[in-house]
Amino acid sequence: MSELDDLYQEVILDHYKRPRNWGRLAAPDREVVGHNPLCGDRITIQVQLDGDVIKDLRVEGSGCAISTASASLMTEAVKGKSMAEAEKLFAGFHDLVTGKGDPAGAALGKLAAFGGISEYPARVKCAALAWHALHSALQGKSETISTEDDHG
């Protein structure tokens, strides 16, 4: 657990212990399961759309602290946003956790808590899992996505 201590910032712990928007929607427009076989994380993302706006979304499943907290923070970040805005956040978040981008320029808010993840490549997939599932759902796909199919 020692390597993770650095990652367990207060905001991540908070969202792990009390994940937001957790559960299921009555009538989701989109639903995608995300699986990270390396860690065993498996989460379901459900999205309710209003035009091109993410009106509501829920996450359910089981995973490690990082994947759970990331999914929770994602729901807060994209709820009420347009699909284009959500994709922009995903791009910024992906750059942040893979160490490619400039976090200061991405307006990521609380998502910046995951900045230290880039030091731990195995954990990047945990942090990005919910975002990959959301991305797939917004594209209208419904197949289960696996982080092992992601070459980005």
What span, in angstroms and rounded, lies between the C-alpha atoms of 49 and 51?
Answer: 6
**Which segment (34-42, 49-57, 97-105, 144-152) binds Zn ion by CB under 5 A?**
34-42
Is 147 a residue that touches Zn ion (CB under 5 A)?
no
Nearest to Zn ion of 56, 132 (CB atom) = 132
What span, in angstroms and rounded, lies between the C-alpha atoms of 93 and 106?
Answer: 8
Query: 21, 44, 46, 67: which one contacts Zn ion (CB under 5 A)?
Result: 67
For 143, which DSSP code? Answer: S
Minimum distance between the CB of residue 146 and Zn ion, rounded to whole angstroms?
A: 13
Nearest to Zn ion of 64, 138 (CB atom) = 64
Contact 137, 28 (CB under 8 A): no
What span, in angstroms and rounded, lies between the C-alpha atoms of 145 and 34?
Answer: 5
Point out which residues bind Zn ion (CB under 5 A). 39, 41, 64, 67, 126
